[in-house]
Structure 1
Amino acid sequence: MLVFTRRKGESLVIGNDVEIVVLSLGPGNVKLGINAPRHISVHRHEVFEAIRRENLAASRSQIPAAGILKKLVR
């Protein structure tokens, strides 16, 4: 893990087009601003994990998709 020390108003850049700015510091928290192109997804870790779990559950679904498609085409 790469660790940075930044002060309020300072930033760091990832790649050529993602910038993370320290907006404010409080007791026990840091507020960050992220400038990134629209095609790059940015999520809090807990939201990312929830999306990953839902996608995994959907991929394991027992719905017989081929049978449903055959009925719709008829």
Structure 2
Amino acid sequence: MLVIGRKPGEYVMLDDDIMVKVVKSEEGHLRLAIEAPKEVKITRGELFEEQQQNNK
């Protein structure tokens, strides 16, 4: 796992077509903007974990 620090307005690129940008950061809260092709499925972590539990 890669862990990096980013400030609001900064971003990281995944390959050439997925951007994850910090749009707001307050103590204990973080808002991200994700720009990706429509065919890329994006799922919140708690929903992903619930799906994994249901698949067992």
Partner in structure 2 of residue 26 of structure 1:
26
* Higher relative contact order, chain-length normalized (CA < 8 Å, sep 6+): 2
TM-score computed with the length of structure 2 as normaliser: 0.85
TM-score computed with the length of structure 1 as normaliser: 0.67
Q: In the alignment, is residue 39 of structure 1 matched against residue 22 of structure 2?
A: no
Deviation per CA, 1:28-57: give whole Å up to 9, x if none: 011000001111111111111222333x26
**Which one has the bigger strand percentage?**
2
Instruction: Report the structure number with the largest CA radius of gyration.
Output: 1
Structure 2: where are the runs of 5+ without partners?
A: none
**Which one has the bigger helix percentage?**
1
Count of matched residue positions in the alignment of Structure 1 and Structure 2: 56
Structure 1: where are the runs of 5+ without partners?
A: 58-74
Instruction: Kindly report structure 1 stretches of 4+ aligned residues shifted beyond 3 Å.
Output: none
Take 2:47 and 2:2, find their aligned partners in 1: how far apart are those partners? 23
Alignment RMSD, CA only?
1.3
